Chains A and B, each alone.
Chain A
Amino acid sequence: MKRLGTIVLMIATLALGDAAMAAPALPGGPLPGDSVYQLDIPLTNQDARASKLAELRGSPVLIAMFYTSCKYVCPLIVDSMRSVDKALAPDERARLRVVLVSFDPEHDTPQALKAVAEERHLDLPRWSLDRTDAESVRKLAAVLGVQYRAIEKGDFNHSTVISLLDKDGRIVAHSSRTGEVDADLLAATRRELTTR
C-alpha cells in the first residue's frame, strides 16, 4: 500500500514536471524569442523583495547596470534615466518602470541599494534598484551589451548602456549618453508608452 502511494506520488510528480516544462500560459502570450525576459534571473530589490526579471513584463522598462560605490558614471546614468522620466507627461510616466541592476553582488546589499534610492529621491517602487548573483550579472550584461570589468578596491570599469525594453522585454532602443536628455531615447520611450 505504501508502495502504491509512492508510485502514485511519482506519477503525480512526473505529471507536474511535464506541466512545468510546457510553455507557461503567460499573460500576453508566449514570450518573444528575442525578449530579454528569456533570461530567468532572480532579482532582489532595495526593500529585499525577491522577484524574477521576467516579472517586469507588461510595461515598458528603462534598464541599466550600475553599482552603488561608483562615483563617476553611475550617478550620471541615474541622471540620464531621470531626465527621460521627468520629460514624460504624468500619465505616461506612471506606466514606465525604471530598473537599475548592480554589477556588484558582493557589496550591493538591499541596504546599500536603499541608501542610494533615498539619497537620489527615486520614485519607488516604480523605480527599483536590484541585485542578482554573479553569474546572472554576466548574463544580463551580455544581453544588454554592457561591457564591464572588476578592477581593484571594488571598482568596475564599464560601458554605459541604457536600454529601453518594450512591454514584452525586447530591446527597442538604447543610449550611451549620460547626464543629458537623449532625445532619441525619449522619443522611443514615448512611442512605447503609447502603443498598447
Chain B
Amino acid sequence: MIRAMVAALCLAALALPAGAADYVAIPGGSFASVLPPDGKAALAVVAPFHLRMLPVTNAEFLQFVRANPQWDRGRIASLFADSQYLAQWGGPSNLGAAGRDQPVTRVSWFAAEAFCESEHARLPAWYEFEYAAAADESHADARADAAWRERILDWYARPSTTALPDVGSSPKNFYGAHDVHGLIWEWVGDYASLMISGDNRNQGDPDLLKFCGAGALSTQDRENYAILMRIALLSSLKAADTTANLGFRCARNATGDGT
C-alpha cells in the first residue's frame, strides 16, 4: 500500500510540467526605486509575488525548446530573436559544451516570455526585480550598505570572457533567491518602458517624450550604480536582442497565475 502510494507520488512528480521550478515568496511593499513612478520621489509599490529561486538554466531551456520546437534556434522566426540566439549551444536541440546548470543566455525577450508562460509564469516587472535586488543575505533592503554595493560592483569588474558559473553558486539573499546579483543580466517584462517618464503629461511631441524619459531617473540613489547599469542595459535593448550575459528568471503573482 505504502509502496503504491510512493509510486503514485513519484508519478505525480514526473507529471509535473516545467513549472516544478522553485519559487520564493516575496512579500509586497513600497520602496524608493531609482525610477520613481511619478518621476520625482513617489514610492514604488510592489504587490506580493513569487520569484524563481534561480535563473533559468541551459538544461531547463533545452527541455522547453524540445517541447516547443518553434523556439529552437533552427526554427525561430527572425521576428522573435536575432541571429545569435542560443549560439553558445551545440545545436538547435543539444547543449554541446554549454553547461546544463549554467544560466541560459543569448535568449530574446520573446523567448524568455514564452518560457515563463510554459511554466505558468511571466517575466518579473522591473519594480519586482529591483525590490528583490535590494536585499543582501540578511536584510530586505541593504542598499545603504556601501560595503555590499562594492561587493556587487566587483562583479562588473570581472572579465566576461570566463565561463559563467552554475546557477545557485552564490549565497541566497534575504528572500531565498540566488544570483540576483553577480551572475547575469536579466530580462524584465517591462524592460522597454523603463525610460518613459512617469509624469510627462505634455504628450504633444512624441520625440520630446522619448528624451524626457531620461529625466525619470532619480538622483536620490545615484550611488546605486549596479541597478543603474541594469536599467541602462535593458533600456538599450530590443525585444529580439540577445547577449552573452543576458538571461532571465520568471515570476508569478502571489495569487492566481502569472498574468
Contact = CB atoms under 8 A, between A and B. Distances in A.
B203 A157 contact: yes
Interface string B80-120: 10000000000000000000000000000110010001000
A86 interface: no
Contact of B199 (A133, A151, A158): A151
A73 B193 contact: no
B113 A33 contact: no
A178 B206 contact: yes
A149 B204 CA distance: 16
B63 interface: no
A33 B77 contact: yes
Residue in A73, A143, A159 whose Cβ sees the most chain B Cβ within 10 Å:
A159
Contacts of A73: 203-204, 206
A62 interface: no
A176 B211 CA distance: 14
B196 A148 contact: yes
Contacts of B207: 176
Interface residues of A, number: 29
A70 to B, nearest CB: 8
Given A73-B206, A147-B192, A157 B197 contact: yes
Interface in A135-162: 135, 138-139, 141-143, 145, 147-149, 151, 155, 157-160
Most interface-central of A134, A141, A151, A178 (chain B CB within 10 A): A151
A176 B77 contact: no
Contact of B198 (A135, A157, A178): A157
A151 B79 contact: no
Interface stretch (A34-42, A120-128, A183-191): A34-42
A143 B79 contact: yes
B66 interface: no
A80 to B, nearest CB: 11
Contacts of A142: 109-110, 192, 238-239
Interface residues of B, number: 31
B190 interface: yes
A35 B77 CA distance: 8
B209 interface: yes
Contacts of A151: 37, 198-199
A178 B209 CA distance: 13
A159 B212 CA distance: 11
Interface string B37-60: 100000000000000000000000
Contacts of A36: 79
Contacts of B200: 157
B258 to A, nearest CB: 9
A193 to B, nearest CB: 23
Contacts of B80: 38
Given A34-B77, A38-B77, A142-B109, A147 B196 contact: yes
B198 A149 contact: yes
A58 B35 CA distance: 43
Interface of B: 37, 77-80, 109-110, 113, 117, 122, 189-190, 192-193, 195-204, 206-207, 209-210, 238-239, 259
15 contacts: A34-B78, A35-B77, A35-B79, A38-B79, A72-B201, A72-B202, A72-B203, A135-B259, A145-B238, A147-B192, A149-B198, A155-B201, A158-B209, A159-B206, A176-B207
